[in-house]
Chains A and B, each alone.
Chain A
């Protein structure tokens, strides 16, 4: 009995070691790729432009950060092959913040000392916030592919912050704008499923509606997910005389509410989120789904730049890209484009260029608003028409 167990342990250890080796390999490759780029540029006379890439590159959340490193490297490689920016080569500085705010300050300080001109990152909202103050003091612009916390741009505390992902409240903003500007509604009911996602969206929608003098929130309620029926809530909506319901939540509840409203002869407009923009919703609600509006991410899968970026990743790394890859790709492109167009890495000049110059990225053609959110990135309104989600032009 003893021998097989011993052999088993040996096997286990050997496997674990093999695993470590496999795990170690790609990281080494990345290191090589980083150093390879500046090495090639060494003969060039001009000083290289330094692009910092910060985020979680190890630890639990590494899968969110590694794709942005790869995206930056691929874009830079492409640029350098085409003589860089006005003859200056680009150098990538990679720094890990493990997604922890306390580490992120060190990461930022390191990048500042290494004289990074611009930074792609960070990845997590908390770490990004911690690092932004340090970049701000040194006049460095940071562009995150993934930090969605609304306050990062809306508080106005970080004029040096940009992002190529829509903030958490962008959907609610779009829903409200759509309801008020496009549909011209004045009385709205806001419902949610009491979950983090649904309630969060509903709270933003309610806030935006209250801030706008054109409309009034006539009902704000949480429903119980999975309840047997929602007739009481539906009656309440009817009694409130709301012209439309904005619902934050997922499709099972949405389809129940829509069906019960329609069966009771109510034609109240129903506007929901990407938790509802799902084919299952149409399948379950059937004919009652017709006319329902839902916001969802803008479809970029057919964008030729996105297709090209994904192909480049597959070729270089032999696998499909991970989370936020296209956002990071777009961020790198936007930053390099701004440096090229303005011919400078000065804070004020870059800021102005980012806000004025449109740039073609995998996410579409984008520029940034004065707060730092990307215009043209994010969500679109869809409507169920003939059993399919059709994009509605705003």
Chain B
């Protein structure tokens, strides 16, 4: 039973990590139907920014909790600025053109950011300090779950609740839903579409950055390439759950995390990815729009 619980919690950690990235994918897709491939890189930039801030503040001798909170905040703000800028530079000029152009622009942006960090920072793996304190109440169950993982669960849950509130109950949330339903109509009734899209990128990017800082603390290392793999997995999770749907992204991420964890634990880790993708294919065969996705009829 202990083993099952360990795998369950391990899968939950992975799933939560994927969820923090997948939310950004799905939000952007919901609003402008663009798969933002540079999203994984935003996550990586968040982790790097966090590392820089942590190094500086630790050197100044700050309290560790303050350091991790400030590092996460700075990483979120900095990444949000990146998300905002990417949208303005790489996607907005292409908004009227074919979807393929924007997609290719996104892939280009992803490669650009990877190589930019590679050159500006380093190609080596860098150690990432774990500043999340060991909570005393975790001590007895430390062999099963660690404080960092608990912080990841809590952060993911808070982000989910926060986003739900934002979208269901605020003016901006209403505007986002309107743009998602019909951009032209929203424009006609006076919704500032550009502002809504920028806002979406800012929120998505800052969530990814939060994920980046937490994950890097959890696994203790970072390099310029981490965003690519995490981004691909999160994208799969978003598709699995139904791209465009936020509860779907979280559900898809958790399902993917658990699938990988249990498959590795009970069968073999050699075919972990194979199995994860077979699962994706099966779900898409039976529910082409993903687990929670609504199948839409094309607007004529």
A233 CA to B269 CA in the complex, in Å?
A: 7
CB–CB B268/A221 < 8 A: yes
B11 touches A (CB below 8 Å): yes
Contact of B14 among A228, A233, A236, A239 (CB under 8 A): A228
Are A232 and B11 interface neighbours, CB within 8 A?
Answer: yes
Residues of B within 8 A of A223 (CB): 269
Q: Across the two chains, which residue of chain A brings its CB closest to B222? A: A284
> How would residues 287 to 323 of chain A score, 1 for a CB under 8 Å from any chain B CB and 0 otherwise?
0100000000000000000000000000000000000
A344 interface residue (CB < 8 Å to B): no
B34 to chain A, nearest CB (A): 24
Instruction: Please report the C-alpha to C-alpha distance between residue A233 and residue B270 in the assembled complex, in whole angstroms.
Output: 10
Measured CB to CB, the nearest residue on chain B to A263 is B146
Q: Quick one: given A224-B273, A284-B125, are A231 and B13 in contact (CB under 8 Å)?
A: yes
Q: In the bound complex, what is the Cα–Cα distance between A251 and B126 (angstroms)?
A: 12
| B108 CB within 8 Å of chain A | no
Q: How many residues of A contact B (CB 8 A)?
A: 30
From residue A279, how far is it (CB to closest CB) to chain B in Å? 10
Q: Considering only CB atoms, which chain A residue lies closest to B276 in the complex?
A: A224
Alpha-carbon gap, A232 to B273, bound state (A): 13
Question: Which residues of chain B are within 8 angstroms of A264 by Cβ–Cβ distance?
Answer: 142-143, 146
Q: Do B233 and A228 have beta carbons less than 8 Å apart? A: yes
Query: Are A232 and B221 in contact (CB-based, < 8 A)?
Result: no
B3, B146, B223, B269: most-surrounded residue (chain A CB, <10 A): B269
Q: Mark A225-267, 1 if CB is under 8 A from B, else 0.
A: 0111101110110010000000000011001100110011100
- Indicate whether A283 reaches chain B with its CB closer than 8 angstroms: yes
**Contact digits for B122-161, partner A, Cβ 8 Å, 1 yes 0 no:** 0011110000000000000011001000000000000000
Please indicate the chain A residues that have their CB under 8 angstroms from the CB of B10 in the complex. 229, 231-232, 235
List residues of chain A with CB within 8 A of the CB of B143: 264-265
* Contacts between the two chains (Cβ within 8 Å), count: 89
Assess whether A286 is interfacial by the CB under 8 Å rule.
yes
Within 8 A of A (CB), among B155-173: none
Interface residues on B, range: 35 or more
Decide: A232 and B7 in contact? CB cutoff 8 A.
yes
Q: Choose one: B220, B225, B229, B264; the contact of A255 (CB below 8 Å).
A: B220
* Min distance, Cβ B181 to any Cβ of chain A, angstroms: 34
Whole-angstrom CA separation of A165 from B14 in the bound complex: 44
B272 close to chain A: CB less than 8 A: yes
Complex CA distance for A259 and B268, rounded to whole angstroms? 21
For the complex, give the distance between the alpha carbons of A231 and B143 in Å: 11
Q: Is A256 a contact partner of B7 (Cβ separation < 8 A)? A: no
What's the nearest-Cβ distance from chain A to residue B227, in Å?
A: 11
Tell whether B288 is near chain A: CB-to-CB under 8 Å: no
Instruction: Kindly list chain B residues whose C-beta atoms are within 8 Å of the C-beta of A251.
Output: 125
| A232 x B261 contact (CB < 8 A) | yes
Q: Which residue of B lies closest to A233 (CB)?
A: B269
Whether the pair A284, B126 counts as a contact (CB closer than 8 A) is: yes
Q: Does B219 contact A (CB under 8 A)?
A: yes
Q: Which residue of B lies closest to A279 (CB)?
A: B124
Q: Digitize B203-231: 1 where CB-to-A-CB distance is under 8 Å, 0 elsewhere.
A: 00000000000010011110101100110
B17 within 8 A of partner (CB): yes
A200 to B142 Cα, complex, angstroms: 35
Residues of chain B within 8 A of A286, CB atoms compared: 127, 220
Contact, CB under 8 Å: A284 / B3: no
Chain B residue at minimal CB-CB distance from A282:
B127
How far, in whole Å, are A348 and B65 apart by their CA atoms in the complex? 74
Task: Report if B6 contacts A (CB, 8 A).
Answer: yes
Partner of B215, one of A226, A228, A280, A285: A228
* Nearest chain B CB to A245 CB, angstrom units: 13
Q: Give me the interface of A with B, judged by CB distance under 8 Å.
A: 194, 221-224, 226-229, 231-233, 235-236, 239, 251-252, 255-256, 259-260, 263-265, 280, 283-286, 288
Instruction: Provide 10 A-B residue pairs closer than 8 Å at the C-beta atoms, listed in order of the A residue.
Output: A221-B268, A221-B269, A222-B268, A224-B272, A226-B229, A227-B272, A232-B11, A255-B125, A256-B221, A265-B143
Q: A235-B3, A239-B3 are in contact. List 16 more A-B contacts (CB 8 A).
A: A222-B270, A223-B269, A224-B273, A226-B225, A227-B229, A228-B215, A229-B13, A229-B14, A231-B10, A231-B13, A232-B10, A233-B264, A233-B269, A252-B125, A252-B223, A255-B221
Instruction: List the 10 shortest-distance A-B pairs measured between CB atoms, nearest first.
Output: A231-B10, A232-B264, A222-B270, A232-B261, A226-B229, A235-B6, A284-B127, A259-B220, A284-B221, A284-B125
